[in-house]
Amino acid sequence: MTRVLLVDDQALLRMGFRLVLEAEEDLEVVGEASDGRSALDQVRALEPDVVLMDVRMPGVNGIEATERVVTERPDTKVLILTTFDLDEYAFAALRAGASGFLLKDTRPADLVAAIRTVASGDAVVSPRITRRMLELFAGRLPDGPADGADGAQVGDPRLSHLTPRELEVLRAVAEGMSNAEVAERLFLSEATVKTHVGRILAKLGVRDRVQAVVLAYETGLVGPRA
């Protein structure tokens, strides 16, 4: 059973999420909070597996709350929920340690699947979200990759330990591709892609795919033209 905490300042949205999640046999809504401060109290008291976290809330916002949840209770995963047109804060929330990022108009089945995914230790960054992040941060991100003709030389030292194949996999992941989609693009088995992703996370010293995506943007491995 995956224990879920709902955090949103709109009671109607919390009710809708609760109805969706409680219809699933393996998901349990253990609590609700209307702002970041009460969310932190609930996390400490209830120890949920996954927190569905709104970004814009009164008092302690979702970014600060996410950072504190991840710091205080690393086993609890945070899944950011927000609207399509607000998200200058989304990138900061991912950097704060969120394991996923979904829009509030996400289909119920996709929301349920995302909760299961982050609860299992993976991360959720859909292609639509990735494109939106690139649009929002195009003016702040590097113009593009800084590698040589063979793709093996990357200027940022944080990427220096990655092999050419690992760089290819990281680029694909940063575009929002699933392991299956990466495998199809690079003519690899899905198991091989999963192995590459694990090695990439270990070499970069990041917790999950979301943090790897953030680093790929920051280093210029991918950029607005990707």
Q: What is the pLDDT along the chain (226 residues), one digit of tens a residue?
A: 999 999 999 999 999 999 999 999 999 999 999 999 999 999 999 999 999 999 888 888 888 999 999 999 988 999 988 775 555 666 677 778 888 878 888 889 989 998 998 888 777 765 556 666 656 655 554 444 444 433 434 568 889 999 999 999 999 988 878 788 899 999 999 899 999 999 999 999 887 777 788 788 788 887 654 4
Q: How far apart are CA 43 and CA 67, in angstroms?
A: 13
Res 132: pLDDT: 62
Residue 59 maps to a domain:
yes
Residue 225 maps to a domain:
no
Res 88: pLDDT: 61
Q: HSE on the CB side for 226, CA within 13 Å? A: 32
Shared-domain flag, residues 96 and 172: no
Res 148: pLDDT: 41
Provide the domain limits for residue 44.
2-125
Res 79: pLDDT: 92
Res 2: pLDDT: 96
Res 225: pLDDT: 47
Shared-domain flag, residues 162 and 120: no
Contact 226, 146 (CB under 8 A): no
| DSSP secondary structure, the chain, as one string | -EEEEEE-S-HHHHHHHHHHHHTSTTEEEEEEESSHHHHHHHHHHH--SEEEEESS-SSS-HHHHHHHHHHH-TTSEEEEEE-TT-TTTHHHHHHTT-SEEEETT--HHHHHHHHHHHHTT--EE-HHHHHHHHHHTTTTS-SS----TTS---SSGGGTTS-HHHHHHHHHHHTT--HHHHHHHHT--HHHHHHHHHHHHHHHT-SSHHHHHHHHHHHTSS-TT-
- In the chain, the number of structural domains is 2
Contact 225, 194 (CB under 8 A): no
Residue 133 maps to a domain:
no
Shared-domain flag, residues 49 and 108: yes
Q: Whole-prediction pTM value?
A: 0.70
Res 138: pLDDT: 53
Shared-domain flag, residues 104 and 173: no
Shared-domain flag, residues 108 and 32: yes
